Copies of this chain bind each other. A is one copy, B any other.
Amino acid sequence: MGNKKKVPDQTLIRLSYYLRAINYFLDEKKEIISSKDFAKFLRISPHQLRKDLSYFGQFGRKGVGYSLVFLKNQIQTILGLDRTWKACIVGFGNLAKAISFYKGFREQGIDIKAGFDIDKKRQKDYGILKVFPLKKMSTIIKQENIKIGIITVPKEEAQKIAERLILYGVKAILNFAPLKLNLPGEVIIKDVDLSCQLACLTHYLKNI
């Protein structure tokens, strides 16, 4: 049994890639897959796939493979995606729009309930979600019991916004502002810096 061994962070990240691949296989009407074929599809080693899963339990059948429907359920449970999480997004520019209107989040069980922006022109009902002025943050986050905040404001505002989100009850933050937020340890922070991603590419390009 996959008991109290520490699970590598990388394993969790791969798990969500596995989930995406499972959905693809299910669309293709597959029902069972071996770690060999699964891994080949993702261009990783079958050992790694099996090891990753073994941290959490025994999900396959020896001599057979993995039931895709069952595995999907298990991974969703591991990642906490067997329920719906409510999120809000602060700073409703192009990036926020791209995120809010992307179906992938809702499919994964993350429901972006509300947007917030200081700019009056952006405060409107987009159908799938409504964008409010910042002063509504407290009320709506508490009312809806929102636990996830997505920050897409300019870097000058980000720290202040993060502090307010936490004050109102948010427990996890996905931060797109290009700076390191200074927040209490119990808050879960994930930084995504698009320009740092590109900067790594150029290092490798240099040597071509």
Please give the residue numbers on chain A whose beta carbons come within 8 Å of chain B beta carbons, in ascending order. 9, 12-13, 15-17, 19-21, 24, 41-43, 78-81, 85, 87, 93-95, 97-99, 101-102, 104-105, 107-110, 147-148, 171-172, 174, 178-180, 188, 190, 192-206, 208
Q: How far does the alpha carbon of A148 sit from the alpha carbon of B205 in the complex, in Å?
A: 9
Is B80 a contact of A205 with CB atoms below 8 Å?
A: yes
Copies in the complex: 2
Is A205 a contact of B172 with CB atoms below 8 Å?
A: yes
A179 CB contacts on chain B under 8 angstroms = 20, 24
A208 CB contacts on chain B under 8 angstroms = 171
Q: How far does the alpha carbon of A194 sit from the alpha carbon of B19 in the complex, in Å?
A: 14
Q: How far does the alpha carbon of A81 sit from the alpha carbon of B73 in the complex, in Å?
A: 44
A104 CB contacts on chain B under 8 angstroms = 178, 194-195
A148 CB contacts on chain B under 8 angstroms = 198, 201-202, 205
Cβ-closest chain B residue relative to A78: B203
Q: How far does the alpha carbon of A85 sit from the alpha carbon of B80 in the complex, in Å?
A: 40
Q: How far does the alpha carbon of A67 sit from the alpha carbon of B138 in the complex, in Å?
A: 44
The distance from the CB of A203 to the nearest CB of chain B, in whole angstroms, is 5
Q: Which of B24, B97, B108 is A195 in contact with, Cβ under 8 Å?
A: B108
The distance from the CB of A44 to the nearest CB of chain B, in whole angstroms, is 10
Question: Which of the listed residues A21, A43, A202 has the most CB atoms from chain B within 10 Å of its own CB?
Answer: A202
